Structure 1
Amino acid sequence: MSANGLVQIEGLTPPGNAHRKTSKVMLLFPPEWVPTAPYLALPSLTAVLRQAGHEVVQKDINIEMYDLFFSDTFLFWISGRLDLQRRLLEERERRAALTDQETDQLALLREKCTVEVFDLAERAAEAKRIVRSQDFYDADKLEWALNIFREVMQYISAAYYPASLVFYPMESNLGYRPGVSREVFACLEDEQVNVYRDVCRQLVLPVVNREQPHVVGVSIGTQMQLLAGLTFCKMIKQAFPHIHVTVGGNVVTRLQEEWPTHPQFFNEIFDTAILYEGEHALLWLLEALAGGRPISSVPNLMYRGTVGVETNKEIYTEKTTALPLPDFDGLPLDQYFVPERILPYLATRGCYWGRCTFCDHGQGYFDQYRGVPAHQVIEQVLALRDKYHCRHFLFSDESYPPALFKKVSQLLVERNAGIKWTTLIRFEETLQDQELWYLAAKSGCCTLYYGMESANERVLNLMDKHAKKSVMRTNLMQASQAGIWNHVMAFYGFPGETRDEAEDTRRFILEHQPYIHSVELFYFVAYRHTPIVRSPEKFGITIHKQPEYDLPLDYYYTLNEPGGLSCLEAMEMAEQFYQQDFHPWAVRVNAREHVFLYISKFGTNRLPQIYAKPEDRLRGTDSVSGLVTWPVALGEGDGNKEDGPTMTRVVSHASGG
């Protein structure tokens, strides 16, 4: 046992088990996530399992789903579904038996049944060709393609009325609240709105039947993936009851207190759940299922025991320097909606700062911040570059440490690596040398995402963030001067913040617009695993827990004393910012990876072609990605952190340290 009380399991097999039985494992990554690059969870798990001799089939169902949605096969199938629903409702209409909702649904069905599906399918195919070809770099063509994707999603949505399926991803709404267990269970069975049941039938069950794995693992990293992931689990269990289904990911860890109170999850949906980091926990689970060790000895594991749901006490944290290179073999690397391959890479686990009172991204880890040395980072990135013929990387760390930022930049230049990269970063006093920013740009750094949160130093100190406005200004100016694209994330309404202090943030952003190339401004959300929720009285708030929200990831709160911004006032200020001040930052492409590739291609952060045209800004419509439509909060983040913000549409205000 280590000094911090964790049981550290050194061996990969039980003593005396030299001839370990190998298994066949299928790993699934469910929707919804961005369709621009693989997520790191599956390749990290795959590398450890394959190193131990297990056969692994890894499937990114997220990208396969979008590829399917924008195909003639699926759209013709949707056309048939729409027609069948229309005829059934028209029969009810003749009997004067329609409800108000069915009347609205029938009107929508009649509208969509007039769509020329052959033409829509042809345009969808052309849109996919554009985003995967050099035409991607023509901003007019790219915007056209993105708008076609939106049109297709509206067409598909009509077949799952009243669900709203949206492109850009992570904004879809099936009408069920993922924080309410009874609604989750109902959604899993709902054939009308749950599109993931059809996705499972067409993309998941056939491959499970063909491969016949011993174990299926489903990685659920964000709350937006919860309904899809659990749908897949339940349908696999129903179709293949002999297959062991396990779940993992950040959301599974965050809800570890709730799973045992709902035995239905373990009785009907999955067999085991892996908490915290999963590479070796999954490896040892395979050994336990093969009879090589007691299941009670598998760390990080929750399972159905003889007396109910049990959680093993041992917790294992990965040794980052000893982990193998992520293994992307088997993933459709040329199927993502980008013209160049982009791969994620993680050098650190946890956040080196780790003090922000609003942040719960570290909940996916049990242990402290860890990382690999700069020279190992370089060797692994170059190995991935050469193996997968990839020169664009998402450094997916919670917040890139300044010492590592400096050293990695230096080594990439010395090795003439020839890569392009992006990451999340914190404003730091040690990064105020202009030559350092030139070096970072020379090393291939194209875009940086800063968790500014506020531009008022009193509020920043309340957050335990302790950044200085002068440092923010210098970092932004110097990075911009070097040609790096600066994306700033902030939010209104941290408990105790006054309206005037919130205005400081707005003024700072507007005054530094020449150095801030894109921005997200949201409102404070009380995530359940944060210091502020654990000690609400310290921050002058009252947390309100609603009984029906029995799978909560955040809570509603009120202020104990007047003077600060209420939750509602913060929301109104954020909406006002998007309506009145956001126009200089309205872009026509709304994925961080798309902006990243544009900067890589054109070699500058001055990209007027990707911003909204003046006439679109004046119209104030949503014809432009993110224009007026302000971001949706995602309580994202996990051990393989791939949840950096997407341009103007998706905010994760706990990012960037």
Structure 2
Amino acid sequence: MVLLITPPFTQLNTPYPATAYLKGYLNTLDVPSAQVDLGIRVINRIFSEKGLSELFACVDDNHMQTENAVRIFQLRHEYVYAITRVMAFLKHPTFIEAQNICQGTLLPEASRFNQLEDEHTAFGTMGLVDKAKHYCTLFLEDLSDFIVEAVDSRFGFSRYAERLGRSASSFNELYDQLQQPRSFIENILTEELAVVMEQYQPQLVLITVPFPGNLFGALRIGQWFKQYHPDINISLGGGYVNTELRALKDIRLFEFCDFITLDDGEKPVQCILEYLQGVRKLDQLKRTYICQDNAVRYLNGAAEGDVLQKHLGIPDYSDVEWDKYFPVVEVANPMFRLWSDGHWLKLTLAHGCYWGKCTFCDGSLDYIKRYEPSPVGMVVDRMEALMAQTGIRGFHFVDEAAPPVLLKELALEILKRQLKVVWWTNIRFEKSFTADLCLLLKQSGCIAVAGGLEVASPRVLKLINKGVTLEQVSNVAANLTHAGIMVHAYLMYGFPSQTAQETIDALEVVRQLFEMGIIESGFWHQFALTAHSPVGLQPAAYDIEITGGLQGSFANNDLEFIDKQGAIHETFGDGLKKALFNYMHGLGFDFQLGEWFNFKVPKTQLPPNYVATMINDDVVLKPNSQLLWIAHEPISKNIVKTKGKKTVEMSELTLLSAKTHITINVKAKLGQWLCQCLSEMAVTAEKRITFSDFQNKYETASLGDFNKFINSYTFLQLREAGLIIL
């Protein structure tokens, strides 16, 4: 039995997918396995009547430094009383309980509720249940603030002891903290571990460490196993390991585990299993660290390559404890909440990034550089299998950047199979995302995309080799928004040589994009230099000096550096985030940009219509463009129109879709021809009709001037009814 563990803490609303992916692959090997999210189990233990009662009972008065913490402690009985109903509502919201939460006195309020006045207008548009979810989120965040101040400063809903894991070039502090007595939260963790151990009795435990905020919890888990079940083998893997521990030298880490695997885990785990079964030699493990002869040794002698995407198996969510997950609504923004609301099934369209050239990205690492698309038919097979397994019809494709061609094929396959699903993913703002492609994606269930606008500066976009322009980003965002697809922008500041002027001008671009309504949400992060990025590998080319982070015996990825040319970047963070928070709520567009900062900044040099002038809604019709009819087959009715003494035979075409009903009247010959053509353009058609084919068919039928036809009101109505040109 293999036990797959997600340590505290990742997401509250849906499981992190690593264990489901690995379990799916182990199924193809007929290896029995079980997965458990110890993070969500611990959260459910803490945020219960019993858990809060025990938490408040262990509080020392001396640990409460603020009036806010004192207030929460004084109201502890109200918190204990309310917690069961809050958790029940978040998992199964009802209209009546939403009334209790919003209008009644169920929830005690501390400092997190102070922001409600600022958000009243925005939440007025979201409905009562959403408002109640937000109130419950504030209630939980107040408790989180109390826990951090009075019980365990390491706590966070989606992270634990993150500071210890971030930029830990030395293992010393982590190791020292692991020798200390367990905290209140860590005691709950080990209690849950004991339950899991009793239930599954595994021979091998795989612990995923996706983020710095999972490392300490993972090591506590390994420590517990080594203390109470030293015969069980422990292996660590995941995103944090893949990026941070590629030059590991500190043998003390192996007091908490036996193996550490890099990059995709399927084949390395298979090799470990074969080694433990005695059918593989130790030196034939794949991308695996072990401790041997009192030193860290890296083994990569396996002859086999990595598992192809088509052989990975179907991610297996069969033993996920869905009833323990719950949504939180932190802000009144429908796009931003996708990360924290809803049970999403995670899938991957392609391994790696098809661009892979951004200079800030870990492009030299396998998870970026090895691009391998999956067959779209297989992806949709997996979607259908997961829907049957879970009853869930929402998908998050967690690609680094989903290619437009693959998304087009995905949308067509979903429509062919008549699946009614919703999905979202990450993209690059490629010009391939035309208005019509966006309509097709929307028709297939796409509700949102997230993509990198990054620095929003023409010069710096070139410097980071993003491969997109501001004009592209603006037009693609407009196309997506007009199709009804929400857009989230990843934003960056502080790239080497970026000036204060460029930072402020970037904020002005962001302001205009929000004011025009063509992006829904965004997130600023400060540029971080990593050892595996082109900037980290060639610092002189970007005029920076690396001052630390390369010589550690533990994590060697996040680097310290001096930017010899740019602004003092860290001073801009608070102002940029404050502005963005307001823009996401539809506020503050009339503020001067300098008002967001507590120091003097330059005025923007961009005109107020800078973005608007870049928007171009012209449709380019190419001979090889494909025509697609996404509505129902037309319903044709013969009618006769009389003009004076003259009668004309006409066709009345009714064009139906789930959302539209359009009737057009055309001459009978054109009507018959259109019915035939549109049926040949159906999603289910074996062969696609090109624009050139369409023109030839029209002219062969002697229906008149083709250019007049495609510029006519009739053709415009066909476009509105469901004629897409790709």
TM-score by length of 1: 0.77
Q: Which residue of 1 aligns with 2:251?
A: 263
- Cα 1:57–1:418 change in 2 (3 A) is same
Deviation at 1:250, TM superposition (A): 1.8
In the alignment, the residues of structure 2 paired with residue 250 and residue 404 of structure 1 have an alpha-carbon distance, to the nearest angstrom, of 25
Deviation at 1:531, TM superposition (A): 1.1
Three-state SS of the structure 1 residue aligned to 2:560 is strand
Name which structure has the greater RCO, CA cutoff 8 Å, separation 6+.
1
Q: Which residue of 2 aligns with 1:632?
A: none
Contact 2:396 2:423 in 1 (8 A): yes
* Equivalent residue letter for 1:139: D
Please show how residues 127-526 of structure 1 align to structure 2 within 5 Å. Answer: 127-135=86-94, 138-161=129-152, 163-167=153-157, 169-170=158-159, 179=168, 180-191=170-181, 194=183, 197-259=186-248, 261-266=249-254, 268-306=255-293, 308-314=295-301, 316-338=305-327, 341-360=343-362, 363=365, 365=367, 368-432=370-434, 434-513=435-514, 514-526=517-529
Contact 1:409 1:439 in 2 (8 A): yes
* Equivalent residue letter for 1:526: L
- Mapped pair 1:69 → 2:55: no
Q: Which residue of 1 aligns with 2:563?
A: 559
Moved more, 114-123 or 354-363: 114-123
In the alignment, the residues of structure 1 paired with residue 67 and residue 163 of structure 2 have an alpha-carbon distance, to the nearest angstrom, of 17
- Cα 1:108–1:198 change in 2 (3 A) is farther
- Mapped pair 1:121 → 2:76: no
Deviation at 1:469, TM superposition (A): 1.6
In the alignment, the residues of structure 2 paired with residue 366 and residue 388 of structure 1 have an alpha-carbon distance, to the nearest angstrom, of 30
* Equivalent residue letter for 2:345: L
Three-state SS of the structure 1 residue aligned to 2:562 is strand
- Cα 1:402–1:534 change in 2 (3 A) is same
- Cα 1:469–1:111 change in 2 (3 A) is closer
Deviation at 1:307, TM superposition (A): 5.8
In the alignment, the residues of structure 2 paired with residue 418 and residue 60 of structure 1 have an alpha-carbon distance, to the nearest angstrom, of 29
Three-state SS of the structure 2 residue aligned to 1:582 is helix
Contact 1:127 1:146 in 2 (8 A): no
Deviation at 1:353, TM superposition (A): 0.6
TM-score by length of 2: 0.70
Deviation at 1:113, TM superposition (A): 8.5
Aligned length: 539
* Equivalent residue letter for 2:176: A
In the alignment, the residues of structure 2 paired with residue 158 and residue 499 of structure 1 have an alpha-carbon distance, to the nearest angstrom, of 36
- Cα 1:571–1:110 change in 2 (3 A) is closer
Three-state SS of the structure 2 residue aligned to 1:76 is helix
Three-state SS of the structure 1 residue aligned to 2:156 is coil
Contact 1:275 1:300 in 2 (8 A): yes
Contact 1:541 1:559 in 2 (8 A): yes
Q: Percent identity?
A: 22
* 1:532 corresponds to which of 535, 555, 560: 535
Q: Which residue of 2 aligns with 1:640?
A: none
In the alignment, the residues of structure 1 paired with residue 253 and residue 225 of structure 2 have an alpha-carbon distance, to the nearest angstrom, of 13
In the alignment, the residues of structure 2 paired with residue 112 and residue 25 of structure 1 have an alpha-carbon distance, to the nearest angstrom, of 46
In the alignment, the residues of structure 1 paired with residue 184 and residue 371 of structure 2 have an alpha-carbon distance, to the nearest angstrom, of 39
Deviations 1:572-630 (CA, angstroms, capped at 9, x unpaired): 223212334531214xxxxxxxxxxxxxxxxxxxxx8xx99xxxxxxx9xxxxxxxxxx
Deviation at 1:30, TM superposition (A): 0.8
Deviation at 1:241, TM superposition (A): 0.8
Three-state SS of the structure 2 residue aligned to 1:416 is coil
In the alignment, the residues of structure 1 paired with residue 192 and residue 232 of structure 2 have an alpha-carbon distance, to the nearest angstrom, of 17
- Cα 1:548–1:317 change in 2 (3 A) is closer
Contact 1:402 1:431 in 2 (8 A): yes
Deviation at 1:63, TM superposition (A): 1.5
Q: Which residue of 2 aligns with 1:41?
A: 18
Contact 1:517 1:585 in 2 (8 A): yes
In the alignment, the residues of structure 2 paired with residue 418 and residue 286 of structure 1 have an alpha-carbon distance, to the nearest angstrom, of 40
Contact 1:108 1:158 in 2 (8 A): no
In the alignment, the residues of structure 2 paired with residue 582 and residue 509 of structure 1 have an alpha-carbon distance, to the nearest angstrom, of 12
In the alignment, the residues of structure 2 paired with residue 440 and residue 186 of structure 1 have an alpha-carbon distance, to the nearest angstrom, of 51
Return structure 1 stretches of 4+ with deviation > 6 angstroms: 106-110
Contact 1:29 1:220 in 2 (8 A): yes
In the alignment, the residues of structure 2 paired with residue 308 and residue 577 of structure 1 have an alpha-carbon distance, to the nearest angstrom, of 46
Contact 1:493 1:523 in 2 (8 A): yes
- Cα 1:410–1:113 change in 2 (3 A) is closer
In the alignment, the residues of structure 2 paired with residue 515 and residue 109 of structure 1 have an alpha-carbon distance, to the nearest angstrom, of 39
RMSD between aligned alpha carbons?
2.7
Moved more, 549-558 or 471-480: 549-558
In the alignment, the residues of structure 2 paired with residue 48 and residue 354 of structure 1 have an alpha-carbon distance, to the nearest angstrom, of 26
Deviations 1:29-72 (CA, angstroms, capped at 9, x unpaired): 01221211111110111122233222212101122122122111
In the alignment, the residues of structure 2 paired with residue 109 and residue 186 of structure 1 have an alpha-carbon distance, to the nearest angstrom, of 31
Deviations 1:211-235 (CA, angstroms, capped at 9, x unpaired): 2211111110111111111111112
